[in-house]
Amino acid sequence: MIMTLIILNLILTAFLFINIFMKKKHFSIDDNGPVYRDNSKEMENLNRLKKISLTLPLTEVSRPSSLKDIIGQEMGTKALIAALCSPNPQHVIIYGPPGIGKTAAARLVLDYAKTLAHSPFKEYSKFVEIDATTIRFDDRGIADPLIGSVHDPIYQGAGSLGVSGVPQPKPGVVTKAHGGILFIDEIGELHPIVMNKLLKVLEDRKVFFESSYYNPNDSNTPQYVKDIFNNGLPADFRLVGATTRSPEELPPAIRSRCTEIFFRGLSASEICEIARGAAIKINYGVDDDAIYLVGEYCTNGRECINVIQLASGIAFSEGRRTINKEDIEWVIENGQYNARIERKINKEPKAGFVTGLAVYGNNNGTIMEIESVSKILGSFRGKLVVTGIVEEEEINFNNRKIKRKSMAKCSVENVMTVLSNIYNMDFRKIFLHVNFLGGVPVDGPSAGITIVVSIMSSLFNIPVKSEVAMTGEVSICGDVKPVGGVSAKIKAAIEAGAKEVIIPKDNYKETYSDIKECKIHAVSDIDEVLSICFGDNILKCFNKINKEIKTVYANLN
């Protein structure tokens, strides 16, 4: 009886092994198996798709291949090399308008760092790029492409770990960038909770996971899963964030951990250089008039390359290998491009009209024109009118609204106090209208000396010396105080055609002495400003005219 049972058991075991072997052969080897047939069909389709390819678009062909190919960002690139190519590289945030080379510069700087013996970046260091606008916060924590997540058995379904009830950690891009650079485009768009998680990773240089399904005593849990839960996943990288926002729109917590680098907007001549290079790379000639037109209408590299690409298509359809002015004109009209505003210094002096300097966006300099009109009225009927300013500016950031009120009118009132205090002006009997041309947000204090000169020029009907631009805050006592963005303002003044630039003495740097395009005046009080703008004898003239005005006041009374 026992022998019979043993024989039956052996027969049953043999049958099971044969059945398993036949099934394995059926699904993986037999050509008639459904899995094999599906795999063969899909691989055939995949290989067919791989054989299909198009030519590269011009944006790919013209992408910078070396640091010298990045046009107009010499200072920004130098700062990026200093931050990332040292023995102790830093986290970086790059500010700047779109299409000026922020991503390309970061990628090329990493390639350069790999060649340096002292750099911690090695040949295996990766450049992992992700767009912050595509990262959305998942409050369930099921999927987090940035930080990583844990796929619990209830969600991950079947599989060797799922069937065993073991949670499965999934690395995010912070781990994939381990040992390299994580580039986050538009980092200002990150959800606040995702931003806080990222800050934690930057501090720990690891990613730690938690799961209610994790049991360290479970024999089914693999050792690598236990190690991940106990020690975390490595995430030692350098963050390079890029944004088109202003610094004040980013959270202070991320800014304090990063070196801030500013890339500037491209000038018309630099756009022309990019356009000419793009045409050469596709073996097309381009007329000088066409190049000039591209620089006049395009503001960044992407716009420029898109215009050249479309214009080359028009030339090709007509059997030409040269892009002419008519091709560019058609593209500009069809694309509804607007000509860039190139403000220039007023060549003809006018009473009350003065050129100031300002900054906007990511430390971009520009000229700011201010004009004043004044009239002597009867006793105590004076009036102040300030126009052309944006009273309130609203900034949206992560569902928060910040309202910033203009201080321009306050600055005009401050200047009136200065003139009353120093030059005995009685504004109770003067109608004064100050207009800020352009209708742009004006901070106010940095336009202090510009407002002084404009009002004095208007009151005494004396034109301001032409080709002079200025910036500086003025105190009630008449002292000229330092302001921000002076280097960008000087650059804007030179581009606008200024021959003389007035800045506060406390803002002066020795490097400004190397500037050949214009003369830099560093002043400490308002008397120096007036002497530069009107001449050395102007103060005596003002005193004389002021006495005449007081005589008029007396007659009016």
DSSP 8-state code for residue 151 = E
Residue 10, by phi and psi: left (phi above 0), alpha (psi -120 to 50) or beta? alpha
CA 33/CA 28 separation, integer angstroms: 7
User: Does the active-site annotation cover 446?
Assistant: yes
Distance CA 230, CA 222 (A): 13
Question: Which is nearest to 263 in space by CA: 489, 470, 104?
Answer: 104
For 555, phi then psi, to 5°, come to -65, -35
Of the candidates 419, 442, 424, the residue with the CA atom closest to the CA atom of residue 370: 442
Question: CA dihedral in degrees (248, 251, 257, 262; nearest 10)?
Answer: -30
CB contact at 8 A, 395 and 402: yes
Ordered alpha helix ranges (H), 500-537: 526-534
Cα–chain center distance at 23: 60
Tell me, yes or no, if 66 is annotated catalytic: no
Q: Count Cβ atoms within 10 A of the Cβ of residue 340 and give its class: 0-12 exposed, 13-18 middle, 19 or more buried.
A: middle
CA atoms lying within 13 Å on the CB side of residue 235: 27
- Of the residues 102, 197, 489, 491, only one is catalytic, namely 489
Q: What is the C-alpha separation between 415 and 434, in angstroms, rounded?
A: 11
- List Cα–Cα distances, 243 to 5, 83, 132, 314, 429, in angstroms: 78, 17, 10, 34, 50
Q: How far apart are CA 482 and CA 171, in angstroms?
A: 50
User: Helix 74-84 and helix 102-114: axis angle, to 10°?
Assistant: 40
d(CA 92, CA 242): 8
H/E stretch holding 252: helix 252-256
Catalytic hit among 446, 454, 457, 458: 446
The stretches of 404-469 forming alpha helices (DSSP H) are 408-423, 448-460
Token pair for residue 444? 């106010």
The residues assigned a catalytic role are: 446, 489
